[in-house]
């Protein structure tokens, strides 16, 4: 399908129609651009809960904060 669009000159202004010619220069036919395919959404990352000894360090301790920062446990 071809669409009609106002023709523009070099400076970006609309062109006028010359009445002495049979063709209308004020309009031009433009092919529509192809639609871009949607990008796939990234899958959500799941954090694995791994604990070395089975018992967690107390809340607020430096050891527990280190485990959280490394991604070994969740808050």
Which pLDDT value is given to residue 18?
85
Instruction: Report the C-alpha gap between 53 and 58 in whole angstroms.
Output: 13
Mean pLDDT of 54-75: 87
28-49: buried (b, 16+ CB within 10 Å) or exposed (e) per residue?
Answer: eeeeeeeeeeeeeeeeeeeeee
- pTM equals 0.36
Q: What is the pLDDT of residues 8-55, one digit of tens each?
A: 889 999 988 888 988 888 888 888 888 888 888 887 666 555 555 568
Tell me the mean pLDDT in the region 53-68. 86
């Amino acid at each position: 399908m071809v669409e009609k669009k106002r023709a523009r000159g070099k400076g970006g202004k609309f062109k006028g129609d010359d009445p002495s010619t049979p063709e209308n220069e004020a309009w031009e036919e433009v092919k529509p651009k192809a639609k871009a395919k949607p990008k796939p959404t990234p899958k959500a990352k799941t954090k694995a809960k791994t604990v070395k000894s089975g018992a967690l360090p107390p809340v607020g301790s430096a050891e527990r904060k280190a485990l959280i920062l490394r991604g070994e446990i969740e808050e």
